[in-house]
Amino acid sequence: MSDHGLFSLNGKTAAVIGAGSGIGEAVALGAARQGASVACLDSHDAAAQSVAAKIGGGTIAARVDIRDAQGVADAFDAIVRARGRLDIVICTPGINVRKPILQYSAEEFDRVVAVNLKGSFHVLQAAGRIMTAQKGGGSIVIFSSIRSQVVEPGQSVYAMTKAGIVQLVRAGAAEFGPAGVRVNAVAPGVVETPLTAPIKANAGWYEAYASKSVFKRWARAEEMVGPTLFLASDAASYVTGTVLFADGGWTAADGRFTPPV
């Protein structure tokens, strides 16, 4: 492939889960701009339909709850029936319950794990079954977080699930690689999305997070498109089992104090 088409997704079918808002919406729109035939999947059907309408051209939209293994498998099978194959799967959903460990309830624990970790497993399993059986392999991208590496009080279960995704991705890469299927993760820092709106509304909290980036600002959802589509594209043809940190230098820069030199 020439360098000119290295990042092109022309001729590829991409399923974006979480496409109804935030990072997922930005990625779905970006994949379409790169030429992919996009399927917008989201737990909120109306949101998925809205983004599909923005893309146009008969874009597939469907409700998918990643906690439901059969529902995920059925959605992917429907895409294959409609488009002939499934080349790219991108999974962005995640939830968080911010509480100290000693205050966490069993129900809250189960709720976060069910979406972030179990749901990601369902996606990986269903996509892997299709992609390992088809010629030409495929690319699976699952969203982790900087919390897979660094934590703060109140983030125990969320951080645990995001660290689990890293190992899940590595195992998927090892198992699916012989069939030409790549599996990778994107680990954002703090991103302006509907999910983080309550934090943004707190000026002190917002600025504390902004100061952790070497750019001294939060990321925009659109800034996750490039890293994600790089992993999805042939530009990353020899990249698998890795985590791409798109965190504005959060995990690279140690501390806020600049010592005299």
Q: Which residues are catalytic?
A: 145, 158, 162
d(CA 109, CA 85): 36
Helices 22-33, 225-232: axis angle to 10 degrees equals 60
Print burial letters for 10-28: b (CB count within 10 Å at least 16), e (below 16). eebbbbbbbbbbbbbbbbb
Q: How far is CA 93 from the centre of its chain?
A: 7
Does residue 120 contact residue 93 with C-beta atoms inside 8 Å? no
Tokens 């983030």: give the residue: 155
Q: What angle do CA 126, 131, 136 make, to 5 degrees?
A: 170
